[in-house]
Structure 1
Amino acid sequence: MELVQAVIAIFAERSAFFLQLMIEHLWISGAAIGIAIVLGGAAGVLIHCYERAAAPTLGTVNFLYTIPSISMLGFLIPFFGIGNRSAIIALTIYALLPMVRATHTGLAQIPPSLVEAAGSLGGSSFHVLMRVQIPLAMPVIMSGIRNMATMTIALAGIASFIGAGGLGVAIYRGITTNNPALTIAGSLLIAVLALVVDGALGWVEHAMKEWAQARVCGRKCSAYAAAAAVLLIAVSSVTYGFFGKADVVHIATKPMTEQLIIGEMLKLVIEHDTGLEARITAGVGGGTSNIHPGMESGAFDIYPEYTGTGWNMVLKEESKYSEDMFPKLAEEYERRFDMHWVGMYGFNDTFGIAVRREIAEQYDLHTYSDLRRVAPQLVFGAEYDFFERADGYLALCKAYGLDFARTVDLDIGLKYQALANKQIDVMIVFTTDGQLAAADARVLTDDEGFFPSYRCGNVVRGEVLERHPELGTALERLTDSISDEEMAAMNYAVETEGREPRAVAEEFLRAKGLLQ
C-alpha cells in the first residue's frame, strides 16, 4: 500500500517530467512505426508479386528479429552513434517482421478469381493492386500494424539505455537510484500507452473490416494510411533536426546516482553562470564506452569522468593510474580528441570490494588477500563493464590469485539488493556509494594497492570551450568543491532517503555558495 501511495505521489509531483518523457516515447516509437509501415508494406507487396523472393526475405527479417535488443543497439552505435537515431533504427528493424508478414499474408489470402476478374475489366496490375488487392487485404494489414505498434511502444523503453529519451529514462533512473516508485511509474505509463494505441488501432481495424466488406473507401483508406505514415516520418525528421540543433550545452551522465546528481549540478551552474541552456542525457548505458564516442561525434559536449577510467578505457593505457599522471592524461586528451579536463570536483570514487558481513565474520576476511582462500566458495557480482575493463575483474583475480565459484553481471542499482538477498557474496563497490553505509557488508582493505585513483572531473569538447569561454570559467568554480564524504552523503540522500537528484544538487550548491 505504501508503494502504491508513493507511485501516486510521484505522478502528482512530477507530472511535467512524465509528460515530457511520454512525448519523447511517442515520437521515438511513432517514427519507427511510420518507417516500418512504409518499408514493411512495400516489402510485403514486392514479395507477393515476386513469390520466389518471399522465403529469403521473410527468413532475413526473422533472423533480425531474433537478435537481442541490447545486442542490436550495441551493433548500431558504431555506425549511427548513441541517442534517438540508433533507437529508431533498432525499433524499425524489430517492427519490420510483423509488417512484412501481415502485408504478404493479407495479399496472399485474396482469392485469385477476384484478382483475375478485376484484371479482365481492363485495369493494369498497379490499378488492381491499389483498388482491389490492398483494400481487401487491409484488415489483415491493420492487424499486423496493431501488433507491431503495441510491441514497438513496449520495446521503446530500452532506448534510454543508449541515451535516447522516452519513459525508459524513468525506469532506468528508478533502478539506478533505488527508487521503485519511479521505476513502476515509468513501466505503468508504457503499458498504458501501449494499451491506448492498441485500442485505437483496434477500432480502426474494425472499421476497415466493415469498409472492406462494403468495398467502399478502400482506396481512400489506403491513401490516408500512406499519407499518415509519410507525415509521421516528415514530422519525426523535422523534430530530430530541431532537437539536434545546438547552441545548447549537451550534458551526458553515466547510469550512477552520483552522476545523475553531478549532471544536475552542471545544468544548474551552467545556466546560472553563463545563461546558456543545458540539456541532460541521463544514465547512458555502457557509461564511458558509449559516451566518449558521443563526445567525439559532437552528440555530447560535456560529461563527468574519472581519471583512472580515462587513462585505461579511453587512452587505452595498461599501466595503473596515479594522480601524478594527470598532466599526461590531460595532454593526451587535448592532443588526441581536442577535449579538456575542466573542474576537478575533488572526490575520489575508486573501487572497493565488499563482502556480506556474515561471510566476512565467518571466514575472518579483512583484506583482498584474505579472499584468496575462500573465493572458490563465493559468488562475485559487479557491473557489466567491470568484467571488460583492463583494470577490472581479470586483472583483479590475477593480482590477488582469486578464483570465484561464479560471477554475476548486475546493474549498478541492483547490486546492494542482490547482496542483501544473498544472491551474491562479494561485490565491487564505489567508495562514495550512498547505500554502502546502510549495507550489511564489510569493505575489505586493498592491501596491495590494486585499484588506481578515480578523481572525478568534467571532460569538455574544445570546440565548445572556444565558442563559449564563459563555460570554462563556470566549470572551474566546481574545482575541489566536493569531498568523498559529501558525495557519499548526497548519494545516500537520493538512494536511501528517496530525494530527487536535482533537489540534492541544488541544496548542496546553495550551501557552498555556488548558486545565489
Structure 2
Amino acid sequence: MTLIKEILNLYVDKSDFFIELIGQHLAISLIAVLIASIIGISLGIIISENEKLASPIIGITNFLYTIPSIAILGFLVSISGVGNTTAIITLIIYALLPMVTSTHTGIKNIDERTIESAVGMGSTKFQILYKIKLPLALPVIFSGFRNMVIMTIALGGIASFIGAGGLGVAIWRGITTNNSAMTMAGSLLIALIALVTDTILRKFEKYINYRVTGKRTKILKINNTIKKYIKPIVIVIIVILIVLVSIFVPKIFKKDKKIVIASKPMTEQYILTEILAQLIEEKTDINVEIKKGIGGGTANIHPAMIKGEIDMYPEYTGTSWEYILKKKSRIEDPIKLYEEVKKGYKENYDLNWLGLYGYNSTYAIVINKDIADKYNINTYSDLAKVSDKLVFGAEYDFFEREDGYNALAKEYGFKFKNKLDLDIGLKYQGLESKKVDVINASTTDAKLKDDQYKVLIDDKGFFPSYLAGTVIREETLKDYPEIKEIIKLLDNNIKEEDIVKMNYEVEVDKKDDNTVAREFLVNKGLVK
C-alpha cells in the first residue's frame, strides 16, 4: 500500500513531468508505427506479387527481430547519434516483421478462384490488388498491425537509454536513483497506454474481420466497411501528421538560443546537470535541454559531443585520461593530470575542460560489512586472498574500460568465484540481496553512509584521481561566450560532502534532483 501511495503522489506532484513524457512516448511510438506500416505493407505486397523475394526479405526481417534491442541501439548510436532518431529507427526495425508477414500471409491465403474470376472479368493487376486482395487480406493485416502497435508502445521504453524521451525516462531514472515508485509509475503508464490502445484497436477490428457461419466462411461487408471507414482513417492520420509536424518541425528550425547538456546514468550526474542548467538559465536567456541518463555513459556521450549533438556534460579526469585519451602512464598529481587532460581534449577533439567542481569521485571497492568481518578484509590485497570465495558485481563498462576490472584484477590478483554485470543503479541492491559480495562504487555514493557497507583501502594506489568538471564544445563557447564565466562560478564550489549529501537526498530521502540542485545553488548564493 505504501508503494501505491507513493506512485499516486508522484502522479499528482509531478503531473507536468509525466504528461510531457506521455506526449513524447506517444509521438515516438506513433512515428515508428506509421513508417513501419508503410514500409511493412509495401514489402508484404511486393513479396506477395514476387514470391522469389519472399524468403530473403522475410529472412532478413526475422534476423533483425532476433537481435537484442540494446545491441541495435548501441550500433545505431555510432551512426545516427543519441536521441529520438535512433530510438525511432530501432522501433521501426522491430515493427517491420509483423507487418511484412501479416501482409504476405493475408494476401497469399486468398482463394485462387476469387483471383481467377477477377482476371476473367478483365480486371487489371492494380484493380485486383486494390479492390480484391487488400480488402480480403485486411483482417489478417490489421491483426498484425494491432500486435505491432502494442509491441512498439511497450518497447518505446528503451528510448531513454540513448537520451530520447518517453516514459522510459521515468523508469530509467527510478532505477538509477533507487526510486522504485518512479520506476513503477513509468511502467504502469506504458502498460495503461498499451491496454487502452489495444482496446480501441480491438473494437475497430470487429468491423473488418471475418464472420464464420457453420462450415462456410465468408467475408461480409468488407468493401462497404472500408469505404465507410477509409475517409475517417485518412483524416485521423492527416491530423496526427499535422500535429507531429507542428511539434517537431519548429524545434528543428527554431533559432532560439539553446544548448544540450547530457548526463551519465547516475544520481550524481543528474544533480550536476541540473545545477549547470539552472545556473545557465538563471543568468542568461539561453534555453537548456537536459538528456539525462544516457546509456553507456562516456562511451556514447563523447561521440555525441564530437558530432555536435551534445554541447556539454560533467566528466571526470581519470575517465578522460584512460578511457578517452587512452593514456597508460600514471600522473599522481591531480592538478597536473587535469592540465594534461585539458590539453589532450583541446588538441585531439577541440573540446574544452572548464574548471573543476572541487571534489574527487574516484572508484572504490565496497563489500558487505559482515563479509569483511568474516574474512578480516580491510584492503584490496586482503580481498585478493579470499576472492575465489566471493562474487564480484559491476556495471557493464567497468569490465571493458582500460582502468576497469581486468587491470584491477591483474594488479591485485583477484580471482573471483563469479562476476556479474549489473546496472549502475542496482549494484547496492545486489549487495543487499546477497547476489554479489563485492562491487565497484564511487567514493561519493550516497549508500556509503550506510553502516552495512565497508569501503576497502586501495593499498597499491591503483585508481587515479577522478576530479569532476565540465566538458564543453569549442563551438558552443564561441556561440555563447557568456557560459564560460557562469561555469567558473562552480570552480571549487562543490565539496565531496556536498555531493554525497545531495546524492543521499535524492536516493534515500526521495527528493527530486532538480529540487536538490536548486537548494544547493541557493545555499551557495549563486541564484536567488
The TM-score range, normalised by the shorter chain, is over 0.9
For 2:515 and 2:379, the matched residues in 1 are separated by 37
AA matched with 2:24: E
Q: Which residue of 1 aligns with 2:216?
A: none
**Deviation of the 1:372 alpha carbon:** 1.5
* Conserved? CA contact 1:274–1:474, under 8 Å: no
Q: Which residue of 2 aligns with 1:514?
A: 526
AA matched with 1:415: K
Paired residue total: 516
> 1:66-215 residue pairs with structure 2 within 5 A?
66-209=66-209, 213-214=220-221, 215=223
> Which TM-score applies when normalising by structure 1?
0.97
Deviations 1:17-57 (A, max 9, x none): 00000011011111111111000000000111011211221
Q: Which residue of 2 aligns with 1:218?
A: 226
* Conserved? CA contact 2:139–2:210, under 8 Å: no
Equivalent residue of 2:144, what SS?
Answer: helix
* Conserved? CA contact 1:37–1:229, under 8 Å: no
For 2:95 and 2:296, the matched residues in 1 are separated by 25
For 1:152 and 1:439, the matched residues in 2 are separated by 44
* Conserved? CA contact 2:268–2:499, under 8 Å: yes
After TM superposition, the structure 1 stretch with the greater mean CA deviation from structure 2, 352-361 or 246-255, is: 246-255
**Deviation of the 1:169 alpha carbon:** 0.3
After TM superposition, the structure 1 stretch with the greater mean CA deviation from structure 2, 222-231 or 36-45, is: 222-231
AA matched with 2:352: H
> Which TM-score applies when normalising by structure 2?
0.94
For 1:321 and 1:153, the matched residues in 2 are separated by 49
> 1:91-490 residue pairs with structure 2 within 5 A?
91-209=91-209, 213-214=220-221, 215-218=223-226, 221=229, 236=244, 239-244=247-252, 245=254, 247-322=257-332, 323=334, 324-438=336-450, 440-490=452-502
For 1:360 and 1:405, the matched residues in 2 are separated by 16
* Conserved? CA contact 2:99–2:148, under 8 Å: yes
Deviations 1:167-214 (A, max 9, x none): 000001001111110000000000001111111111221122389621
Aligned Cα root-mean-square deviation (Å): 1.8
Deviations 1:297-342 (A, max 9, x none): 1111110111111111111222235421222211221122221111
For 1:233 and 1:311, the matched residues in 2 are separated by 47
Provide structure 2 residue ranges, at least 5 long, that are not aligned to the other structure. Answer: 212-218
Equivalent residue of 1:249, what SS?
Answer: strand
| Percent of matched pairs sharing the same residue | 47
* Conserved? CA contact 2:447–2:504, under 8 Å: yes
Equivalent residue of 1:460, what SS?
Answer: strand
After TM superposition, the structure 1 stretch with the greater mean CA deviation from structure 2, 338-347 or 209-218, is: 209-218
Equivalent residue of 2:419, what SS?
Answer: strand
Deviations 1:238-290 (A, max 9, x none): 64444445631111001000101111111110000112111101100100001
* Conserved? CA contact 2:208–2:225, under 8 Å: no
Deviations 1:375-401 (A, max 9, x none): 011000111111011000000001111
For 1:74 and 1:436, the matched residues in 2 are separated by 32
Equivalent residue of 1:396, what SS?
Answer: helix
For 2:15 and 2:320, the matched residues in 1 are separated by 37
> 1:19-34 residue pairs with structure 2 within 5 A?
19-34=19-34
Deviations 1:96-126 (A, max 9, x none): 0000111111111211111222222222101
Equivalent residue of 2:72, what SS?
Answer: helix
Deviations 1:484-506 (A, max 9, x none): 11100100000011111011110
- 321 and 27 in structure 1: CA distance in 2 versus 1, 3 angstrom threshold: farther
